Amino acid sequence: MTPGVPAQPRIANRRAGLPVSRASIVASGTPHALVESLRGRVWRRVIDKAELPAYRAELNVISTRLREGRTVVHVVADAPPGPGFEPAAAGLEDFYFATLAAGRAAPRAA
């Protein structure tokens, strides 16, 4: 607890609304169920940083990480998105980023 900052109520772990987009809850369920919705659909590959724009243009890249000087990309796809990709164990972070990516890709209502 930080002095001078009011305590915030904790969200119960058994049901979480994640994530929030434009003040609307866009998904809900248990953390386990949300992660399970991505089972078998998250793929990872280590690439050179210079390759990232091409991957972003062609694939549904949901996140990147720098590891030992190389870029690790996570992609959501129903099948292996290309050579060199391996299945990745999905986590809540993958669900969060996949949901944000889907929101960015969806056409906006006028």
The whole domain housing 22 covers 16-105
- Mean pLDDT across the stretch 58-80? 95
Is residue 11 one of the residues assigned to a domain? Answer: no
Is residue 80 one of the residues assigned to a domain? Answer: yes
Cα dihedral value 78, 71, 58, 42, nearest 10: 10
Is residue 25 one of the residues assigned to a domain? Answer: yes
Place of tokens 């870029």: 71
Higher per-residue pLDDT: 104 or 55: 55
Is residue 3 one of the residues assigned to a domain? Answer: no
Structure confidence at residue 14 as a pLDDT band (50, 70, 90): very low
Residue 110 has pLDDT above 50, yes or no: no
Structure confidence at residue 54 as a pLDDT band (50, 70, 90): very high
Rg over CA atoms, the chain: 17
Is residue 57 one of the residues assigned to a domain? Answer: yes
Is residue 31 one of the residues assigned to a domain? Answer: yes
- Mean pLDDT across the stretch 55-70? 94
Higher per-residue pLDDT: 76 or 28: 76
The proportion of the chain whose per-residue pLDDT surpasses 90, expressed as a percent, equals 61
Structure tokens at 70: 């190389």
Structural domain tally of the chain? Answer: 1
Is residue 4 one of the residues assigned to a domain? Answer: no
